[in-house]
Every structure is written in structure tokens, then in C-alpha cells.
Amino acid sequence: MSEYRFQRKLVQVEEAQQTILSYARPLNTEEIALEESFGRRLAEPVAASHPVPHFRRSGVDGYAVHAADSEAASPGQPVALQVTETIPCGAVPVHAVKRGQAARIMTGAIVPDGADAVIMLEMTEPSGDKVNIRKRMAPDENISPVGHEMRYNDPLLQPGRTIGPGEAALLATFGYKTVRVYRKPRVGIFSTGTELLEVGQPLEAGKIRNSNSYMLACQVQEAGGIPLIMPVLPDEPDVVEAALLAAMQHADVIVTSGGVSVGDKDVLVDLFERWDGTLLFNKVAMRPGSPTSAGIWRDKPLFALSGNPGASFVGFELFVRPYLRALLGYTTAVHREIQCFLETDYSKGSAYPRYVRGTMTYRDGSVFVQPAGKDKSSIMVSIKDAECLICIPAGGRGASDGDSVRVILLKEPSA
Ligand SMILES: Nc1nc2c(c(=O)[nH]1)N[C@H]1C(S)=C(S)[C@@H](COP(=O)(O)OP(=O)(O)OC[C@H]3O[C@@H](n4cnc5c(N)ncnc54)[C@H](O)[C@@H]3O)O[C@H]1N2
Ligand code: MOO
Ligand SMILES: [Mg+2]
């Protein structure tokens, strides 16, 4: 056996992130139906192709009038105007409103030429073919002029924007029945380990069910990718090599879990010793997941995450998610960080920075963080409660109650 397993060059998390991100190029794009676009990443700029509103629009149900005709109007002394027509929403007025006239009009309808104000129905009283108005109106009152909200050619959305409710409303307004978005990265997910059972299999001595693949598949989806869950792989390098190469035919990214440490059967390490790919790193100054490795193989990135569930989870958040975000055109690849107050002692020191799964409490204008539960690399039960990763600096001391600590937010910024 070569010495590779034991001779590894330590890199810092930030350096490992930059290395892997230097290989990321935004994916190509595809055209999808607007109704399928929620959460997708816009790949084209959107500008106003017409003004909004594109006609003078009434803001109320009432009567379109000449403001000048209402000058003497008051509740005690209404002014009578001749009604010319009724203009419902969607209709085109037939007559211009002349002095002494009014057109009955509904909210959202075109204000007829001549009129420069719309008086609310509540301030009027019909009287035969006339209407009595009881309020003095200012010019332009209750009328949205053309382009009031958006002018022709106003820039509205830039490529890389995530499509949510507001974006969808704009796209619909400007007639985008389909919209160009970045293609979702397809991520092949492999768990390695002869001890692993498929989810549907009964327990056996020494064996456990594969949980990492399903956890990672959710993380891939959270990051905007398409997970391809592959069958569990045994600790046999030939089998692993063949399976990964086959998956590269249709995946943009390969993620494996397990087999990256120094054990006899750590199969990814065996693969790295003999493959024709480029190893980017194989030891990161972090807990959990110090043996996390990554490489480029046949132009595809391979993220070899540690098998321990906590380490797999954290390794994905620190390396795979930023990479997927970069493929999707995000300008902010790594998670946002804030400073928070630690609300308990965390005395477990470590030679490497520690990324502790945490929960957050908002109180008195500050954010406090607490470990989500037991936090060993082998423990998975606290992953479900992790809202953030609390960064405990390297060193023997750990951190103390009340310390200000770096916190990585696991929720994504939208641009
Ligand atoms: N002598 C040393 N031993 C270990 C070291 C070391 O430096 N020297 N590092 C430890 C650290 S740190 C970690 S982390 C683990 C890393 O192990 P691997 O990434 O090689 O992962 P495995 O050995 O394959 O599995 C570890 C653990 O996780 C369980 N596992 C694996 N895959 C799954 C899955 N898909 N679903 C659920 N659980 C899974 C596996 O059964 C093992 O219990 O190594 C330490 N050892
Ligand atoms: O690197 Mo391992 O840190 O215990 O998870
Ligand atoms: Mg191992």
C-alpha cells in the first residue's frame, strides 16, 4: 500500500473552496414554461417591453371628470354633470369627456380623453342621465399615468436572479410564456461502503442503511440541482471506478460519501492512488470532515465526502453547494456569514476549526446560537435541527458562553 493515505497536505476551508470554485463555469441554459419557473435561475435580462400601465388607468370605481368642473362642488352643493357612457375594465371609451360631462368608470379601466380626474363613487349620486358630484377634485387625482409604475425599457431583472413570486408577476406582465433559465446541474450521488444496506432492506449484523444518499439528495435539491441517487457501491475500487465513470456520462457533478480516510477499505483513497484525474485536495482543516477530498476527473468535479453523516452534511454545505451555486450563475457562491453570540460554553477544542450544527434564537435585536444537539461527526440526529453552522475557532479552548462567533447561515441569499 502506498503512503498516500497518510501523507496529505492540509488546506484551509477557504482555500479548498476557492480551488474548487475556480473550476466552476455557469451551465448552459434552457427555455421552460413560466409556470415551471419557481426557484429557477433566470438566464436572460428582462426589461419593460411596454410601459405599465400602458394606458391612463383609473384607480377607483367612480366618474371620470374635468377637475375644473368640480371646483365649486361640496357635499352641501353638489355639481351636476352629464353622463356620457359607462366604461368597464377592459373596454375602450367611445367618447371624450367634455366640460360639463362625466363618464362612469371602473377601477383599472381606461380613463377617457378629456377627463383629468376620477371621483370615487361614494362622492357621487346618480340623478337620471346626470351625476351629482360632491367633492372638489385635484387634477390627476385617482389616475395612474402611462408608465407610472414602469417606463418602456426600464431594466427590471438581471441574469442570475432567482424566480419567485415578484419575478413571476413581472415575467407574466411582459408576456414571457416561456423563460430562459440556467439548466439545473445533475448530481450523481454515490454512497460507498460494504456495510451499507439499501433503504428497503432489513437490518443485518454490522450493517446499516444508507442514509447519506437521501440526505445529500435533499441538499442537492435545496441547492437547485437534480439528484441522481445511484446504487450503493461496495468497497471495491474497480467497481467504484466503473460506476463513477459511467455516471459521468450524464451527471455534471459526482458526489461520493465514505471511504476517504486512512482505513484499509477506504475505497476512494484507492481510486485516487490509481486514477488519471487531478486531485485538488484530500485533507481540509475542518471538523467534521477533515479527510474530505475533491478532484477533477475527465473534466467533471468529484467531491469525495467523508462517510460520517455529520461530515457528509457539512462537507456538502462547504464545498458542493457553493460549486452548484456557481454553476447556476450565482455571484454569491458560499453561504452568508454573520456574527452571533454563543449561548453556551463549547469547550471541545480542536486542532482545526469546528463547524457545529446550530440553532438560532432572535432576541433583543441580537442573534444567539446554540449547538443543535450532539455534534460528533458520526451523529446524524442533530442534522435535522441545523439552521446554521457555528464556527468554533481552532485551538484548545473552544469557545465560551457570550463569545461572538462566526455563523454560517444555511439559508441562501437570493442573488
Ligand atoms: N485512524 C484513523 N481513523 C479515522 C480517521 C483518521 O484520521 N485516522 N479519521 C476519522 C474521521 S475524522 C472521519 S470523518 C472518518 C472518515 O471516514 P470515511 O470518510 O472514510 O468514511 P467511512 O469509513 O466509509 O465511514 C465512516 C462512518 O460513516 C458510516 N457511513 C458511511 N457511509 C454512510 C452512508 N451512506 N449512510 C450512513 N452512514 C454511512 C460508516 O458506516 C462509518 O461508520 O474516519 C475516521 N477514522
Ligand atoms: O473529519 Mo471527521 O472530522 O471526525 O468527521
Ligand atoms: Mg473510512
**Alpha-carbon torsion (187, 180, 38, 153), positive or negative:** positive
Half-sphere exposure of 311 (CA within 13 A, CB side): 26
All domains of the chain, ordered by start, with CATH? Answer: 13-27+184-328 (3.40.980.10), 32-52+148-182 (3.90.105.10), 57-144 (2.170.190.11), 337-409 (2.40.340.10)
In this prediction, residue 329 has a pLDDT band, given cuts at 50, 70 and 90, of: confident
Contacts of 299 (CB under 8 A, 6+ apart): none
Using an 8 Å Cβ cutoff, are 318 and 286 in contact? yes
281-306: pLDDT as tens digits:
999 999 999 999 999 999 999 999 99
d(CA 289, ligand 2 centre) in Å: 4
Using an 8 Å Cβ cutoff, are 211 and 171 in contact? no
Q: Which atom of ligand 2 is nearest to the CA of 291?
A: 1
Task: Kindly tell me if the per-residue pLDDT of 214 is higher than 70.
Answer: yes
Using an 8 Å Cβ cutoff, are 81 and 100 in contact? yes
Burial of 133 (0-12, 13-18, 19+ CB in 10 A): buried
Task: Kindly tell me if the per-residue pLDDT of 414 is higher than 60.
Answer: no
Query: How high is the mean pLDDT of the chain?
Result: 94
Q: What pLDDT shows up at residue 412?
A: 56
Specify the residue with its C-alpha closest to ligand 1, atom 5.
Answer: 261
In this prediction, residue 415 has a pLDDT band, given cuts at 50, 70 and 90, of: very low
In this prediction, residue 4 has a pLDDT band, given cuts at 50, 70 and 90, of: low
Cell of 303: 467531491
331-362: pLDDT as tens digits:
777 888 999 999 999 988 889 999 999 999 99
Q: What pLDDT shows up at residue 79?
A: 98
Specify the residue with its C-alpha closest to ligand 1, atom 45.
Answer: 261
Q: What pLDDT shows up at residue 337?
A: 93
Q: What pLDDT shows up at residue 382?
A: 94
Q: Which atom of ligand 2 is nearest to the CA of 290?
A: 1
For the entire predicted model, the pTM comes to 0.89
Mean local confidence (pLDDT), 134-149: 98
Geometric angle at alpha carbon 341, from 336 and 343, rounded to 5°? 125
Specify the residue with its C-alpha closest to ligand 2, atom 1.
Answer: 289
Mutation to probe ligand 2, out of 266, 293, 377, 383 (largest number of atoms < 8 A from CB): 377
What ligand is nearest to the CA atom of residue 260? 1
Q: State the amino acid at position 96 in one-letter form.
A: A
CA 65 remoteness from chain centre: 48
Mean local confidence (pLDDT), 402-413: 86
Using an 8 Å Cβ cutoff, are 312 and 141 in contact? no
Using an 8 Å Cβ cutoff, are 219 and 187 in contact? no
Contacts of 85 (CB under 8 A, 6+ apart): 93, 94, 95, 103, 104, 112
Using an 8 Å Cβ cutoff, are 302 and 251 in contact? no
What ligand is nearest to the CA atom of residue 192? 1
The β-bridge partners of 363 are 366
Q: 267-274 and 237-248 helices cross at what angle (nearest 10)?
A: 70
d(CA 237, ligand 3 centre) in Å: 14
Using an 8 Å Cβ cutoff, are 345 and 296 in contact? no
Q: What is the percentage of the chain residues whose pLDDT exceeds 70?
A: 97
More confident residue, 378 or 329: 378
Q: What pLDDT shows up at residue 375?
A: 85
d(CA 149, ligand 3 centre) in Å: 60
What ligand is nearest to the CA atom of residue 351? 2
d(CA 263, ligand 3 centre) in Å: 5
Task: Kindly tell me if the per-residue pLDDT of 7 is higher than 90.
Answer: no
Mutation to probe ligand 2, out of 308, 317, 376, 383 (largest number of atoms < 8 A from CB): 308
Task: Kindly tell me if the per-residue pLDDT of 6 is higher than 80.
Answer: no
In this prediction, residue 5 has a pLDDT band, given cuts at 50, 70 and 90, of: low
Q: What pLDDT shows up at residue 349?
A: 83
Mean local confidence (pLDDT), 394-408: 92
Task: Kindly tell me if the per-residue pLDDT of 277 is higher than 80.
Answer: yes
Q: State the amino acid at position 198 in one-letter form.
A: E
74-107: pLDDT as tens digits:
999 999 999 999 999 999 999 999 999 999 999 9
Mutation to probe ligand 1, out of 306, 319, 377 (largest number of atoms < 8 A from CB): 306
Task: Kindly tell me if the per-residue pLDDT of 3 is higher than 80.
Answer: no
Q: What pLDDT shows up at residue 15?
A: 97
Specify the residue with its C-alpha closest to ligand 2, atom 3.
Answer: 288
12-69: pLDDT as tens digits:
999 999 999 999 999 999 999 999 999 999 999 999 999 999 999 999 999 999 999 9
d(CA 57, ligand 1 centre) in Å: 66
Nearest to 90 by CA among 113, 57, 114: 57
Task: Kindly tell me if the per-residue pLDDT of 170 is higher than 70.
Answer: yes
What is the DSSP secondary-structure string of 202-261? Answer: PP-TT-EE--HHHHHHHHHHHTT-EEEEPPPB-S-HHHHHHHHHHHHTT-SEEEEES--S
Mutation to probe ligand 1, out of 208, 261, 270 (largest number of atoms < 8 A from CB): 261
What ligand is nearest to the CA atom of residue 318? 2
Q: What pLDDT shows up at residue 330?
A: 86
Mean local confidence (pLDDT), 187-209: 97
Task: Kindly tell me if the per-residue pLDDT of 413 is higher than 50.
Answer: no
Using an 8 Å Cβ cutoff, are 135 and 88 in contact? no
